[in-house]
Amino acid sequence: MQFPGRRKKVIGSSQNDLYDHCLQFYGQPPLENISLTEFETFAVERLKLLKSVENIGVSYVKNSEQYVKKLDAEFSSLNFPLRTELGDRRVQGGTSEYEKRRKDHISHFILRLAYCQTEDLRRWFIQQEMDLFRYRFGELTSKHKTDFLHKNNLKYETVSAEEKKSLKDKLITSSYGLSGITVEEYDFYKVPFQDALDLVRTRKVYLLAGNAYIPHHEIVTIVLNDFRTRLSKALAMTARSLPAVQSDERLQPLLSHLSHAYVGQDYSIQKNMGKISLEQIDALSGKSFPLCMRHLHKALRENHHLRHGGRMQYGLFLKGIGLTLDQALQFWRSEFVKGKVDADKFDKAYAYSVRHMFGKEGKRTDYTPYSCMKVILSNPPSQGDYHGCPFRHSDPELLKQKLQNYKVSPSGINQLLPMLAEILELVKGMHYQLACQKYFELTHNVEDAGFSLNHPNQYFTESQKLLGGGLEIKKEVDMSQRSQENPANMTRPSQANSKQAHEEMGDLDSFFQDE
């Protein structure tokens, strides 16, 4: 893989061939020289774009009308390719479509360098690029979709008319919005189920003998799967070539700043170790724990046990608020021993997993407390589980009851009912984190939480700050002013590591702090 800005390379084919489609699979890296300024600018602008993709994806249902409108606006303001025709018409003093596509191409590859290094970074990058791709593919006309498939050699086997006829009833009932007529008219593709996992997972497609029968309009899911696989492989390869790039002092500070600025604080560095005593936990759970952790704590106290999912979610949260390993061991043991587990069994079976959480066993990874995204999206609870996000995973009726019981400050009673209604509305709209923020406002009796919630430990920290708790919590670079206008905005640069680069990149920072 060649890195722009380092070597002289022959400029590729003529303008028109290179970027003749507004969408691309990023199969070929760019082969030209660019200036360092362009390198920086492109990278930062794409990063802003991906960040918007993430935020807008949290505030609106993906691919809904508002979602699309918002993203369209971002695209225009950041000068990324929007139109499908490559006309070289220049908007007054603006950039041509060709230039936008070139930027799209180059900026993607630059960000690969910044985001290939760790599993978390890769996952984030792939997720946003996929959402971006899905949005852009969805905006193409049918003809352009087919064009795209042909250009990129994505050949999927079509289902014959006879087969469609014999499976007609099954096909109609497997996808939403199909009728006998549409099944006859539209193309269906037969792909191995492994290539259509998203459709299989949600049972949106007919499966027979290991093949998924995909209606034409769902083809985007298959393409996305392909996209994800390719990108994943490419990132792994990029990671291997990275040392060569990092040795270039012009690029290294930029790349490192890029990847640190956007993962948000992960609470892996415990600043408050040992500042909490075990006796405080019960009280704290009522005052400063988010609902999910309060729920878990209560279940633990009542049943003297938690299953694996609950132990992980709650245990890591406790680590994040400052429990030391010894405290954690004591905490879990004393509770489990009250139940069916004797001290011996605890030491043999459960102590290991507590130590594992603190990075003292096995791979010795110091696991990070789960963010809201992780709690909401992965590992839904089943029978006997208490983990997950109550706003996402509880029945709205039960949630309502629970909220009423978990009471609020006495003066809040009058606001209780309308607030509850607001919370339930947010839950219906799938804005679980916003609902939790409202819960924060309700329980702390404030008008505005003053931050945008994306991590249970953040909830705790903010709550303690508000209540003037006895913990010294170092203040991060404060982005919370912005959050009031834009509640879905989720950035908090992490401290220490980027501080150095931070100073060197004075100018660059202004990119991250505006809006």
Partner 1 sequence: MSTSDYDPACLPDLLPLYYRRLFPFSQYYRWLSYGGVSKNYFQNREFSFTLKDDIYVRYQSFTTQNELEKEMQKMVPYKIDIGAVYSHRPSQHNAVKSGTFQALEKELVFDIDMTDYDDVRRCCSAADICSKCWTLMTIAIRILDRALREDFGFHHLLWVYSGRRGVHCWVCDDAARKLSVAARSAVAEYLSLVKGGEETVRKVVLSDPIHPFINHSLSVVERYFQQYAIVDQDILGSKESVDKVLAVLSPLCRQMKSFTREGSSVSYDLHFSCVSVKSNSKKGGQYFDKEIMLQYCYPRLDVNVSKGVNHLLKSPFSVHPKTGRISVPIDLKELDTFDPFEVPTISLICEELEKPRAEEAEEDDMKDKENEQEAGERRRIRDYKRTSLAKYVKVFDRFLEAMARSRKGEMLKKSDLQKDF
Instruction: List the binding residues for [4Fe-4S] cluster.
Output: 292, 372, 389, 436
Q: What are phi and psi of 158, to 5 degrees?
A: -85, 150
Contact 319, 270 (CB under 8 A): yes
Per rule CB under 8 A, is residue 211 in the interface with partner 1? yes
Query: Taking CB under 8 A as the rule, which mask of x and - marks residues 166-185 in contact with partner 1?
Result: ----x-xxxxx---------
What is the number of other CB atoms lying within 10 angstroms of the CB of residue 266?
16
Per rule CB under 8 A, is residue 202 in the interface with partner 1? yes
Q: 259 vs 394, which CB is nearer to partner 1?
A: 394
Six-digit token pair at 60? 């609106």
Which listed residue (197, 273, 281, 325) binds partner 1 by CB under 8 A? 197
Per rule CB under 8 A, is residue 379 in the interface with partner 1? yes
Which listed residue (57, 81, 381, 487) binds partner 1 by CB under 8 A? 381
- Measured between alpha carbons, how far is 237 from 37 in angstroms, rounded to an integer? 26
Q: 207 vs 477, which CB is nearer to partner 1?
A: 207
Closest distance to partner 1 from the beta carbon of 491 (Å): 28
Contact 34, 53 (CB under 8 A): no
Per rule CB under 8 A, is residue 405 in the interface with partner 1? no
Closest distance to partner 1 from the beta carbon of 398 (Å): 5
3-state secondary structure of 38: helix
Task: Tell me the sheet residues that pair with 207.
Answer: 212
Closest distance to partner 1 from the beta carbon of 251 (Å): 25
Burial (CB count within 10 angstroms: exposed 0-12, middle 13-18, buried 19+), residue 112: buried
Closest distance to partner 1 from the beta carbon of 88 (Å): 42
**Applying CB under 8 A, which part among 22-30, 314-322, 383-391, 463-471 lies near partner 1?**
383-391
Q: 85 vs 395, which CB is nearer to partner 1?
A: 395
Per rule CB under 8 A, is residue 201 in the interface with partner 1? yes
- Measured between alpha carbons, how far is 285 from 404 in angstroms, rounded to an integer? 16
Q: What are phi and psi of 21, to 5 degrees?
A: -125, 145
Mind giving me the DSSP string for 215-245?
Answer: EGGGHHHHHHHHHHHHHHHHHHHHHHHHHHH
- Measured between alpha carbons, how far is 272 from 55 in angstroms, rounded to an integer? 29
Per rule CB under 8 A, is residue 443 in the interface with partner 1? no
Q: 151 vs 308, which CB is nearer to partner 1?
A: 308
Contact 311, 369 (CB under 8 A): no
Q: For residue 127, which of 367, 374, 362, 423 has the smallest C-alpha distance?
A: 374
Element (H, E) at 508: helix 506-513
Per rule CB under 8 A, is residue 203 in the interface with partner 1? yes
Per rule CB under 8 A, is residue 384 in the interface with partner 1? yes
**Applying CB under 8 A, which part among 191-199, 241-249, 277-285, 497-505 lies near partner 1?**
191-199
Q: 265 vs 394, which CB is nearer to partner 1?
A: 394
Q: How many angstroms from the chain centroid is the CA of residue 428?
A: 20
| Residue located via tokens 């290294």 | 252
Which listed residue (348, 360, 407, 428) binds partner 1 by CB under 8 A? 348
What residues between 78 and 107 interact with partner 1 by CB under 8 A? none
Q: 305 vs 502, which CB is nearer to partner 1?
A: 305
Which listed residue (30, 290, 390, 487) binds partner 1 by CB under 8 A? 390
Residues whose CB is less than 8 angstroms from the CB of residue 145 and which lie 6 or more positions away in sequence, other chains included: 137, 219, 220
Which listed residue (130, 140, 200, 466) binds partner 1 by CB under 8 A? 200
Closest distance to partner 1 from the beta carbon of 164 (Å): 15
| Residue located via tokens 């709650």 | 314
Q: 317 vs 391, which CB is nearer to partner 1?
A: 391
Q: 342 vs 515, which CB is nearer to partner 1?
A: 342
- Measured between alpha carbons, how far is 233 from 286 in angstroms, rounded to an integer? 46
What is the number of other CB atoms lying within 10 angstroms of the CB of residue 498?
20
Per rule CB under 8 A, is residue 274 in the interface with partner 1? no
The size of the interface with partner 1 (CB under 8 A), counted in residues, is 41
Task: Tell me the sheet residues that pair with 171.
Answer: none
Per rule CB under 8 A, is residue 193 in the interface with partner 1? yes
Six-digit token pair at 318? 């406790």
Burial 238-256 (b: 16+ CB within 10 A, else e): bbeebeebeeeeebebbbb
Q: 59 vs 285, which CB is nearer to partner 1?
A: 285
Which listed residue (51, 297, 393, 431) binds partner 1 by CB under 8 A? 393
Give the footprint of partner 1 on this chain (CB under 8 A): 170, 172-176, 193-194, 197-198, 200-203, 206-211, 308-309, 345, 348-349, 379-386, 388, 390, 393-395, 397-399
